[in-house]
Structure 1
Amino acid sequence: MIDNLDELASLRVERTGHVAEVTLLGPGKGNAMGPDFWNELPRVFRAADADPEVRAIVLTGGGEHFSYGLDLQAMLPQWSEYLGGDALAAPRTAFLDEIRRLQDAVNSIARTRKPVVAAVAGWCIGGGIDVITAADIRLASADAKFSVREVKMAIVADLGTLQRLGTIVGEGHARELAFTGRDIDAARAERIGLVNDVYPDPESMQAAARELAAEIAANPPLAVQGAKEVLGVNTQDQVEAGQRYVSTWNAAFLPSKDLSEAVQAFMERREPEFTGE
């Protein structure tokens, strides 16, 4: 049950009545997604799914930002054997398994039978977009900014954004965001349908997310869960097929000179120079 979860490092879980609130905690001010996050996220959402006392979930970020996305500094060292230029079939197969493990963590949000309301303040980048597109409803404060940033790191986004975003905002907007990696503000996110509503500040946005979750939780739970399951049938197979394809693609093609240049430039806080190698 969700109330029995303990020893969480990257997430905080609280329940008020029939609403569970899951908060990203870090590390650092941007709630970057490191090893603890990827281990704990599926534990939390599977516990919420199994808990009959939980009827709706609010997913939010602690501090000023929702998430800066994948914690490259924490994750890259354990991926070094996968990404080396001489990596052959065995390490690439292991990397395929790793990508699918991270996909499964994000998918735990979509698979829970309880509706999930994502409440976004500040930055929501890369892996943060994967997470909120797996939610059912998204709200934002006026200071929120969004970026499908992977392309700027020489990465094909592989944890669900490319499979879910088009359904949410339409193919044209999804392709623009995925191809450019540009930042968009909350006003544009609302115009294209990435978020349902924008609120003046994080406090009013959080209050609205809790009120919406409580309104959902007040309805007959099995009917709500049934509606979510029926709605999910429309896209579930497409998402799963797309994730299988992109995980295979990245296991084969992710290692590149451009990726190394992107990481080096990130560490050195300079603009990268990509060569297409």
Structure 2
Amino acid sequence: MSTDGTQFEYSCFNVSISDHIAHVQLSRPEQMNTMNKAFWKELPSLIDKIDSQSLARVIVISSTGKHFSAGMDLSVFSDPNAVPMRGDPARMAENLRRVVMQLQDSVSSLEKARIPVLVAIHGGCVGGALDMVCAADCRYATQDAFFTIKETELGMTADVGTLQRFPKLVSQGMVRELAYTGRKFTASEAEAMGLVNKVFPDQEALIAGVMEIAARISGNSPLAVVGCKEMLNYSRDHSVQDSLSYMATWQSGMFRQEDMMKSFVAKSQKTQPEFDEVWPVSPLFEL
């Protein structure tokens, strides 16, 4: 399926697809790309659309304006219809738990997507935005980027994924320091601790560099890349032996010689191999 030039309409994002790469931009710069109610609904919807319909082989998330994102828009919790803060305490607590889990599911859409998600960060990446980027496959930043687990400073515990995913990416001691203090940390610190893959001098270089990486990913067999993400996510959460067993089962069902032969032929001819896309996710029932 050719998707060159494909665009979608969202209130919080600009989305375009070209050369097998979906570029998703946060598009509310005047509001510092805060994560409002529409954001939390649109993010999983657009990620699922791109992934389940096999519209791209890799997703790049970047932003507009001065900052990547200032995090959660307070209007999310000030909406009495979404989070009632009066009435029976038990029912209020049960409702709040479901709201938090909905927010968590929104961010988890990046992790659950079959295809890789790369994030290009400039300026501030604050609070909920850090939750989101921790769910991505790879993170890249500009020299002026900074990060903070802002929730602690505001009197609450971060609840959408940072405290669960960040420790899988960097050392426990560093995560605990940053979570307990809520202090800002720079792009160079983030790179040194392993949160960020690479730091670029400015946003233009950042986008160009990340798009180049995305292009290299998109040039590989989509099935092989999907397999890489599936295995890496599984091995992160399971023992080595369980992961090896799952790998053997995956390979016995998914390995095909066709893509490998296409790679060999393309290399011998010094051309780019043409791979079939992974199939769209079939709905259980046609509605």
TM-score by length of 1: 0.80
State the secondary structure of the residue aligned to 2:120: strand
Structure 1 residue 236, shift from structure 2 partner: 4.9
Alignment partner of 2:70 out of 68, 71, 75: 68
Closer, same or farther: CA 66–100 of 1 in aligned 2, 3 Å = same
Alignment correspondent of 1:52: 54
Partners in 1 of 2:93 and 2:81 — Cα distance?
Answer: 11
Alignment of 1:9-158 (within 5 A): 9-26=11-28, 28-72=30-74, 74-79=75-80, 82=83, 84=85, 87-158=88-159
State the secondary structure of the residue aligned to 2:11: coil
TM-score by length of 2: 0.78
Alignment correspondent of 1:262: none
* Equivalent pair of 2:124/2:146 in contact (CA under 8 Å): yes
Q: Which amino acid aligns with 2:22?
A: A
Q: Which amino acid aligns with 2:144?
A: D
Structure 1 residue 206, shift from structure 2 partner: 0.7
Structure 1 residue 27, shift from structure 2 partner: 6.1
Instruction: Compare relative contact order (CA 8 Å, sep 6+) and give the higher one, 1 or 2.
Output: 1
Identity of aligned residues (%): 38
Partners in 2 of 1:154 and 1:236 — Cα distance?
Answer: 30
Partners in 2 of 1:229 and 1:100 — Cα distance?
Answer: 23
Per-residue Cα deviation, 1:26-50 (whole angstroms, up to 9, x for no partner): 2624100001101100101101111
Structure 1 residue 169, shift from structure 2 partner: 1.2
Q: Which amino acid aligns with 1:25?
A: S
* Equivalent pair of 2:121/2:141 in contact (CA under 8 Å): yes
What is the root-mean-square deviation of aligned Cα atoms in Å? 2.1
State the secondary structure of the residue aligned to 1:113: coil
Partners in 1 of 2:96 and 2:163 — Cα distance?
Answer: 19
Partners in 1 of 2:7 and 2:16 — Cα distance?
Answer: 10
Between Structure 1 and Structure 2, which shows a larger proportion of helix residues?
A: 1
Q: Which amino acid aligns with 1:112?
A: A
Partners in 2 of 1:41 and 1:137 — Cα distance?
Answer: 18
**Runs of 5+ in structure 2 lacking a partner?**
240-287
Aligned residues: 237
Partners in 2 of 1:152 and 1:87 — Cα distance?
Answer: 28
Q: Which amino acid aligns with 1:197?
A: K
